[in-house]
Amino acid sequence: MVLALVSLARGARAASDAPGDKPAGPDGPLFVKLPIFQIPVIQGNQVRLQVSVTVALELVQGVSADSIESKKPLLIDAFLRDLYAIFAQRADATRVADDQLIRVRLQQIADRVLGPGVVRRVLIQQLFEQKLEG
């Protein structure tokens, strides 16, 4: 378990160190950073929480960032829609943002939008829940 967390942290660090999309090394993986997703969680008639999610995609070796650029807006839209749905379904849970569930669902969406074998792994770089007063 510790090894997996260290490996995930290294991948996330490699993605966040980059000013843009760049490989970790000559034959290393390529990471594509996506914009921060900020999702309000509505319960009843008011916003109860705000969840912020920062995601990076680790592309399969040989796939370039340019090759997914034309579908990136569709991918971002699909991610946003699914995150809204996940958090709406889990609005009554103690912890609305479940990183494992988010990772699995976003991987499925990436495979559907970009095609299977393009995204090796979806990395959750940051995940915050903020309770809102009111």
**Which CATH number is 35's domain given?**
3.30.479
The beta-carbon contacts of 76-81 under 8 Å, at least 24 apart in sequence, are: 76/34, 76/35, 78/109, 78/112, 78/113, 79/34, 79/37, 79/55, 79/106, 79/109, 80/37, 80/39
Tally of domains within the chain: 1
Per-residue pLDDT of the chain (134 residues; tens, 9 = 90+): 233 333 334 444 444 444 456 545 557 789 999 999 999 998 888 899 999 999 999 999 999 999 999 999 999 999 999 999 999 999 888 899 999 999 999 999 999 999 999 999 999 999 999 998 76
**Domain span holding position 36:** 2-131
